[in-house]
A and B are shown apart, each in its own frame.
Chain A
Amino acid sequence: MDIIKRRKYPITIRVLCSLTLFSVFYITLVRPVRVYINQNYIAPFYLSLDQTQNSPINLTARRVNIQPDGYSSPRGFGIPFGGYFWLPFAFFIAARQKWFAIYLVGYHVYLGILPPYLAFLFIKQFSWAAVGLKVNETLFQGVFLISVFWGLKIILDQYKKEKNI
């Protein structure tokens, strides 16, 4: 029986390749798709909800922001699978952490469901949804930072192991 062994590249090479590949993939394909989906489907939907003008909606290429009177800063959501996904994802792939990568994908799928629904409720004058959107933003940043940290920590541990430090 043949035994097929996966060739072991140094972690530094894997990180460089992963970052380069996913950066190119993101810039050439994912980013334009995110902008297209937002401009053609998501933004028009939320603008159609905002017919009363009670909840002014500001749109950027990859975000929907809602800022009714009485709120100093807008509440909203970004289109998932942006740079905050691809950077830690590239680290997890380089470090061969399959399950962390899958959890991250799952989290961004969730980001495509709950925050848009909260934004819908916020436009429909459910003020508690504003708190939900803020909580989501904080969790989003927290997940990003912890994911990057965890990815880098595993990579650093693997590097130390390779170099016998």
Chain B
Amino acid sequence: MIRFLVKAGLFYIIWQVVYDLIIYPDGRLDQFLATSVAILAKNGLALFGWDINAWDRLLVIDGYRGVVVLNECNALTLMSLYSGFIVAFQGPNKKRIIYILSGIGIIFILNVIRIMAFSLATVYFQHYWDIFHEFSSFIFFYPVILGIWYQWTLLSEESTQSQSEFSVA
């Protein structure tokens, strides 16, 4: 447990320092995530018949307030938090890579849905938009992340058990 916490803590510290000193000043990853999420959210809502426009990071449903996808809203931090757990918790390495990549993909898709929901919130409950925004992670991200982490720990326990059975045999 302590080893896991130290590994996860180190992962988060290194990630944040790398982000602050390299990724954030470069800006391209943040820009890519924000604009791609905005475009996909726009296309998603247009598919359901909404009259919506997107300019760079800004999404506007015709006649309502706009939604801007800031760097803090592009889910990059959550992707790193998610990955840190998978990296730090013991388990088979091949599956670890699959879990990290698919988890990041899932978080990206969830963020597109979240931004779509933010746009719809400007239509249906603008007064509660700030509260919705504040607690959106608890609705869209955390249950899924915790669910995948749980699957990962089960997988890890299974592989540990099968390894110990193999060594006994």
A residues sitting closer than 8 Å to B (CB atoms) are: 72-73, 130-131, 134-135, 138-139, 141-142, 145-146, 148-149, 152-153, 156
Contact = CB atoms under 8 A, between A and B. Distances in A.
Which of B15, B70, B81 has the largest number of chain A CB atoms within 10 A?
B81
Residue with the greatest number of chain A CB neighbours at <10 A, chosen from B19, B20, B72, B142: B20
A135 B12 contact: yes
A131 B8 contact: no
B146 to A, nearest CB: 5
A60 B52 CA distance: 33
B15 A138 contact: yes
A148 B9 contact: no
A146 to B, nearest CB: 7
Nearest to B141: A145
B97 interface: no
B150 interface: yes
Interface of B: 5, 8-9, 12-13, 15-17, 19-21, 70-72, 77, 80-81, 84-85, 142, 145-146, 149-150, 153
Interface of B is mostly: helix
B17 A131 contact: yes
A155 to B, nearest CB: 12
Contacts of A134: 16, 19-20
B84 A142 contact: yes
A146 B77 contact: no
B146 A138 contact: no
A148 B149 CA distance: 11
Contacts of A73: 70-72
